[in-house]
Structure 1
Amino acid sequence: MSSLSRQSHLDPRAIALLLLCCFLWGINQVAAKAGLTEIGPLWQAGLRSALAALLVWLWSLSRGIRLFERDGSLWGGLLAGALFAAEFACIFIGLQYTSASRMVVFIYLSPFVVALGMPWIAHGEKLAARQWAGLLLAFGAVAFAFAEGFSAPLGPLQWWGDALGVAAAVLWGGTTLAIRATRLGAAPAEKTLLYQLGVSALALCAAAVLAGEALPLHWSPRLLGLFGFQAVIVSFASYLAWFWLIRHYAATKLAVFTLSTPLFGLLAGALLLGEGISARLVAALVALAAGIVLVSR
């Protein structure tokens, strides 16, 4: 466990940074799904991690941040990197079968994984009865949305894409818990991110080769733009900001503001991809929001 002092309340700077990250993450699912028309899911996820890892390394060099000193964070970093790789494998593969709008709702089950696991790590973040009620409401909302994949599916395997979205949420929550529970929680944000990007780049690119995915022979301006947004803006800049926030603020407080990401994702999916948004999905999102509010109080 890290002895790093964390603020229990979010200041205006943290709130503004969180909302910007959530806006970018909401659009990111749309960019990833759009890119699947020109590049395989594993190559897309692996190559964007590789480019972002290079940027983190160059950024750290320019700021004199030491990334390779022995500080006891190796095993925590490898664990976080493996979880990170598995999370994005689930997201990118799942987007082949379900909509970006549905994927972004399922991914944001993650705050509840954090809420369930955090009391085992930080005793000051235990859940009260009201927060447990919020967890039950949130899980019910996700189950309600998931069931739509059987009653009115967009395709025969939509349920599989939805299930991978839920799995990605569990893995994302596990990554946050791994960071907080190990020496990685006291490491610089750049080192925390480099572990995840580096391990995931190797794992995902290797998986792409084993799966027989072909690299695109021609990178169109559209693909370059989608890939650049995911690698530079999301995987490098926004994740660096997120891991800095995890080091300095209470994880359960941060989780509350990630609620805005599904809203941005739903709007982006509708406006940019023309995805339909069902009343059932909106109702599930409202219940999910209510659950987050209860958990955060």
Structure 2
Amino acid sequence: MSLTRMERKDAINLAGAAGLVVFATVLAFNQVVIKVTNGGFGPVFAAGLRSGLALLVLAIWLLLRRRRLGGLRRTIWPGLLLGGLFTIEFIFLFIALDLTTVSRVSILFYSMPVWLALIAHFVLPGETLSWRRLLGLALAMTGVIWALFDPQSREAGRLLGDVLALLAAFAWAGIALTVRLTRVSELSAESQLFWQLSVSAVGLLALAPLFGDLLRDPGAVHFAGLAFQVVFVGSLGYLFWLYLMTIYPASDIAAFSFLSPVLAVGMGWLLLDEPVGPGFLGAMCLVAVGVVLINRRRKRVPQVPQNVA
């Protein structure tokens, strides 16, 4: 993955699409990994460990590539906002996966493109909601509500977990908007990730004792799960996602996230024996179709080319 200067594009090309499909699959599996890892560590403590260790991986990456973090002083306030939203997102997400099923969390968490598209309509140029996109918004919202009240899967989780998963989606949308609307957009992907990991590592580890025991009899599988999160999601994975955010339209990138809940529901059923009935599958399909419609446009509005700092 090259993080050198790259001209901003108006559409995702084949290479970007392939990378996003792989990343969506990794994120789907990560939901299962987080739930399993929570069996050995307190959720917020695990999230803090992940950020702290991922920060170390980022440092190694920078050393190997002989790169420096630039622009941190001029982006202190938006950087702290970015890191704060990242902290909030993972408090909500990790606790949600501790309280309810991977399937329910995935549907609700990956509804993020819905909220992003709704807000972007008002604040981002070229992100106007057409009638087709409004239909997608309605379908996706209907799917989210249907998933929330699906009786079969609801018995396997708690309402608080569902609410926290939705709040995590809102925080994720906030991160995407912060990257686009503030001076953070002028930073390299590594510098953006530094703000997220450094702030969240401190915040999550400081807050972890407020959320119960830090350790829950961790074993080899829990340490392996933590290592997977650190390397393939918390550092290199998000570095890749942030890199793409600087090149492609935000909503186009978000469109690929509909793959993650579909795959995560299947993985939750296959690996964790979670209940997935016809009603829940219908809700998942509505959300997926809605997200596709939200991010499909007849005419694309040209955007001003930008470069990675």
TM-score range, shorter chain: over 0.9
Q: What is the CA–CA distance in structure 2 between the aligned matches of 1:295 and 1:57, rounded to whole Å?
A: 37
Mapped partners of 1:280, 1:37: distance in 2: 29
Q: Give the percent of matched residue pairs that are identical in Structure 1 and Structure 2.
A: 34
Q: Which 10-residue stretch deviates more, 172-181 or 270-279? A: 270-279
User: Are the counterparts in 1 of residues 39 and 222 from structure 2 also a CA contact under 8 Å?
Assistant: no
More deviation, 283-292/113-122 = 113-122
Q: How many positions carry a matched residue from both structures?
A: 291
State the partner residue of 2:112: 110
Question: In the TM superposition, what is the alpha-carbon distance from 1:62 to its structure 2 partner?
Answer: 2.3
What residue in structure 2 maps to residue 202 of structure 1?
202
Cα distance between partner residues in 2 of 1:214 and 1:247: 36
Query: What displacement does 1:38 show?
Result: 1.2
The C-alpha deviation readout for 1:141-174, integer Å capped at 9, x for no partner, is 101111126x86325x611111111111111011
- Aligned partners of 2:33, 2:211: CA distance in 1, in Å? 23
User: C-alpha separation between the residues in 2 aligned to 1:144 and 1:27?
Assistant: 23
- Aligned counterpart, 1:242: 241
RMSD: 1.8
Q: Secondary structure at the match of 1:284?
A: helix
Q: Is the 8 A contact 2:84 2:200 kept in 1?
A: yes
Contact 2:148 2:154 in 1 (8 A): no
Matched, 1:185 2:198: no
Q: 1:146 corresponds to which residue?
A: 148
Superposition deviation, residue 194 in structure 1 = 1.3
Residue in structure 1 matching 2:96, options 88, 94, 97? 94
Runs of 4+ in 1 over 6 A off after TM superposition: none
- 1:215 is displaced (CA, Å) by 3.2
- Which ranges in structure 2 are unaligned for 5 or more consecutive residues? 1-5, 297-309
User: How far apart, in 2, do the equivalents of 1:190 and 1:129 lie?
Assistant: 37
Q: Structure 1 regions of 5+ residues with no counterpart?
A: none
SS of residue paired to 2:74: coil
What are the superposed Cα offsets for residues 171-199 of structure 1, whole Å, 9 maximum, x if unpaired? Answer: 10111001111111121101111111111
Distance 1:223 1:125 in 2: 41
Task: Give TM-score, length-normalised by structure 1.
Answer: 0.93
1:212 Cα deviation (Å)? 4.4
* Separation in 2, partners of 1:289, 1:215: 37
Matched-pair contact (CA < 8 Å) for 1:90–1:164: yes
Deviation per residue, 1:221-275 (Å, 9 max, x gap)? 2111111011111111211110001000001111111111011101111121111
Question: Deviation at 1:70?
Answer: 4.5
Paired amino acid for 2:60: L
Asked if 2 retains the 8 angstrom alpha-carbon contact of 1:87 and 1:167, the reply is yes
Question: Does residue 68 of structure 2 align to residue 66 of structure 1?
Answer: yes
Alignment of 1:1-297 (within 5 A): 6-70=8-72, 72-148=74-150, 153-155=154-156, 158-215=158-215, 219-297=218-296
Contact 1:113 1:174 (8 Å CA) reproduced: no
TM-aligned CA distance change 1:152 to 1:183, over 3 Å: closer
Shift of 1:63: 1.7
